[in-house]
Structure 1
Amino acid sequence: MNLSIVIPLLNEEESLNELYSWITKVMDANRFSYEILFIDDGSTDQSWPIIEQLSARDTAVKGIRFLKNYGKSQALHAGFAKASGDVIITMDADLQDNPEEIPELYAMIVDKGYDLVSGWKKKRFDSVVSKNLPSKLFNWAARKTSGVALNDFNCGLKAYKKVVVKNIEVSGEMHRYIPVLAKNAGFGKIGEKVVLHQARKYGTTKFGMERFINGFLDLITIWFLSRFGKRPMHLFGAMGSVMFLIGFFAAAYIGCLKLYKLYHKEPAVLITDNPWFFIALATMIIGTQLFLAGFLGEIILRTKNNEERYKISATV
């Protein structure tokens, strides 16, 4: 099979039939062997009945329905697990991603040997204040932090080799950083393609300004995981050592000062009257705690079990 098209969605009943027709038109024109995987992330409208109807009349259409809304990352994880195509395409269900881009994305994977190709919505039809400017700032920070030179991390239209999606773990809210996850897993040939972006035709966006706040927090998380995720003691141990040494030398200074005054028979002063006492106490305690955090992190890594991240209520 050439292609698996993975489409996470939430309450997109107006768009699904039109999106399906558009995709199949492009697939048939290019003679692709394909499957369309709709991942219903807990929709409360008629999205799932529409997916069932599409699947009943076209065996290329498959669906997964979550019991509730678990998030886009979990939807992509489920779609990647089920996908069987040689190339996996992800796109949004709101008709803002153009299926006409799929053949070129496919060619970049198959003919040019890219592991992953990310779409770049260079010309956007979103609000400048609520999306464009925050998105530019977010993408700049992501580039600087991750070292992956993409202009648009948020674009849902991406193409992957099958081996990529089968070897990365998309969890939490990490769908924005799949290129970074791929790079960290050893897939270094990552490309970018300018893609057309349409204005939303139906409904309203399911993402608010909080996605950028969450995005920056996730960026810090993925930076930490990429550098220290397999060796947390290297970070916490180093920080703990520094803090403990600061406390040790502060305590040594207090002790030497006390001995000096005793030797010269100067008036006795309580150690607790010296502010360095509290600096020494606090830094040594913090240093010890950081060491313990590192040890606990190492223990968790070696004993953790894979937890269930979402529940599926139906498939077609």
Structure 2
Amino acid sequence: MTEKNKIDVSVVVPLLNEAESLPELVEWINRVFEQENINGEVCLVDDGSTDNSWEVIQELKKKFPWVKGLRFLRNYGKSAALQMGFQEVEGEVVITMDADLQDSPDEIPELRRMILEDGYDLVSGWKEKRYDPITKTLPTKLFNAATRAVSDIQLHDFNCGLKAYKKDVVKVIEVYGEMHRYIPVIAKWNGFGKIGEKSVAHQARKYGTTKFGLERFVNGFLDLMSITFVSKFKKAPMHFFGSLGSVSFLTGTIAALWLILEKVYLSINNLPIQREVTEQPLFYLALTAVVIGSQMFMTGFIAEMVSLNQSNRNDYHIKDRID
């Protein structure tokens, strides 16, 4: 790609059954591109829609040549859609937004400026004023507080779909499972530490219904535990399993030796032995600790030998493609 046709901004839009909103969204992005003289592209990732979203994307491609489309054979989830979109785009700045028109494309110029001029690796949107029910906003606040405490990243809204990235960030990080809500955490632990935040407009949903239920907050908590463990011990799982195993093994061994030495001492001094070693509960607790410690130690060795980066982790089946 020559300097002349280098893409300035790529917009990645994951979607599921958003046929009604897509034309308005792309028209809106087009107006922003024209007003700001941005050479941009939009990658629409259809995550297994059951409506006519793909047909709408095909029509948009005819009108706007810079539209790209990916269509999954089935629903894989938002993380999968973002990951595949990141692989497709080439813009110097990559912006993600939801397809439901709750994210405003008018934020694109300022997000782009913060990446290119202020030097941020990632800028996350913050919806200060939300048009969501309390059943959604309250769990979100709890989720964000927990993530801040674990990651030490001071963002108000980790799960905001409107984010901007340097190109290098999206080409390095890997988003899988349901890890999209933790992209700032993943970016930081991959060495991209300059993370900013921008207050963005949040609009009420115009078409359709939300695709997320309360179960996402339970999954979010489990994902937070998972990504914390994997990020810290991915390269050296023995540090985790080996440490716990060693503590358990040594504790059990010391307890068993204490019981044995106690019996020897009583025998040497002709003192009465109240109970045999094997009749004491502490003996079985010590034995259990030794066994568990040995197992965890071996688990650490095995984990060191097994690659967590499986080749098929992001093996998603594309049904159709528009370039």
Distance change (3 Å), C-alpha of 1:303 and 1:123: closer
Residue equivalent to 2:96: 90
Aligned residues: 315
Cα offset, 1:306, TM superposition: 4.4
User: Partners in 2 of 1:207 and 1:70 — Cα distance?
Assistant: 14
Report matched runs for 1:209-248 at 5 Å.
209-248=214-253
Residue equivalent to 1:279: 285
1:287-314: per-residue Cα shift (whole Å, max 9, x none)? Answer: 1111112111111138954444311101
Report matched runs for 1:48-197 at 5 Å.
48-128=54-134, 130-197=135-202
User: Partners in 1 of 2:163 and 2:311 — Cα distance?
Assistant: 30
Q: Which amino acid aligns with 2:28?
A: W
Please give the secondary structure, in 2, of the residue aligned with 1:281.
helix
User: Partners in 2 of 1:157 and 1:308 — Cα distance?
Assistant: 23
Residue equivalent to 2:321: 315
Identical columns (%): 56
User: Partners in 1 of 2:274 and 2:97 — Cα distance?
Assistant: 75
Cα offset, 1:187, TM superposition: 0.9
Q: Which runs of 5+ in 2 are unaligned?
A: 1-6
Contact 1:96 1:197 in 2 (8 A): yes
Q: Which amino acid aligns with 2:251?
A: I
Contact 2:249 2:290 in 1 (8 A): yes
Please give the secondary structure, in 2, of the residue aligned with 1:166.
helix
Q: Which amino acid aligns with 2:235?
A: K
User: Partners in 1 of 2:59 and 2:152 — Cα distance?
Assistant: 44
Contact 1:262 1:268 in 2 (8 A): no
Distance change (3 Å), C-alpha of 1:40 and 1:111: same
Please give the secondary structure, in 1, of the residue aligned with 2:306.
helix
Cα offset, 1:57, TM superposition: 2.4
User: Partners in 2 of 1:157 and 1:304 — Cα distance?
Assistant: 29
1:130-169: per-residue Cα shift (whole Å, max 9, x none)? Answer: 2111111100110110011111001000001101100111
User: Partners in 2 of 1:268 and 1:242 — Cα distance?
Assistant: 30
Normalised by the length of structure 2, the TM-score is: 0.94
Q: Which runs of 5+ in 1 are unaligned?
A: none
Cα offset, 1:268, TM superposition: 7.2
Distance change (3 Å), C-alpha of 1:95 and 1:302: closer
User: Partners in 1 of 2:78 and 2:314 — Cα distance?
Assistant: 16
Contact 2:46 2:81 in 1 (8 A): yes
Report matched runs for 1:258-297 at 5 Å.
258-263=263-268, 264=270, 266=272, 269-297=275-303
